Amino acid sequence: MTAPTPQVTLNNGVQMPILGFGVFQIPPEDTEQAVTDALAAGYRHIDTAAAYVNEEAVGRAIAVSGIPREELFVTTKLWIQADANNTRRAFDASLQRLGLDYVDLYLIHQPLGDYYTEWRAMEELNRQGLARAIGVSNFYPDRLVDLILNTEITPAVDQIETHPFFQRTADQELMREHGVQIQSWGGFAEGKNDLFTNATLREIGEAHGKSVAQVVLRWLTQRGVVAIPKSVRPERMAENLDVFDVELTDEQMARIATLDTGASLFFDHRDPAMVAWLNGRRDS
């Protein structure tokens, strides 16, 4: 097993591993084995969501792992609710599926619906210790700042699309100013734009004896971005954790900066058609 993963400290003092294991798009029937393998490889930070429909499998893997609960950092997410007052019901359902007494981080999954009512319910979950930290996902700076200014608890985390082709450096700086930790989803851009054969990333990897995936993860974590790569292959899981024995140079970081297109490779939460589609998937 690799050395313990470096931690970041959230705005309420909670410690969060800067590198975790994400289970988005892992089918429920494969998730228990994937999380079991990830925990065996050394991951102690697991990221799931109600909308992924695999919380139960995550919970089973945690239960049989024998790892003390306090050594794990578990994140799940609240989907858009038809009635925002159902936030506690949705949280309790997630907790039951996970088989846990609390989660370490609970996120609003989308910046849609009556998320202010949802957030105030989540603030109460935080006060009760049921969610050690609360945060958001997919919030652009305008919505993030408005939420901060109109609620009591500042989000601990904003989990957003962040990868070499959409680097979000201005968003990260704004989050830093407000005490919000940036977290990446889609760190490998799901291989889009031929990421895994990109000449710049490959050359930097060769200079350090690392793969392109390892370069991307080191680039993210060296920037202070929390990353949650997904894999179903144990050897790849171990490789993804093995990134903290190198330091990218300023010149290498600058070269990666030139890859930024400033645009999403997936979808824009400000697109009316996308807003309508996401709202149509309520109560996932």
Catalytic residues: 52
Of 5, 64, 19, the residue nearest 225 (C-alpha): 19
Residue 28's H or E segment, with its range, is helix 28-41
> What letters, b where the CB count within 10 A reaches 16 and e where it falls short, cover 61-76?
bbeeeeeeeeebbbbb
The CA angle 56-61-225, to the nearest 5 degrees, is 90
Alpha-carbon distance of 155 to 149, in angstroms, equals 11
CA dist list (Å): 99 to 94, 145, 267:
8, 34, 33
Instruction: State yes or no: 109 annotated in a binding site.
Output: yes
Counts for the chain of helices (H) and strands (E), in that order: 11, 10
Alpha-carbon distance of 268 to 201, in angstroms, equals 26
Q: State whether the Cα torsion 121-124-126-131 is positive or negative.
A: negative
Binding residues: 109
Binding residues for substrate: 109
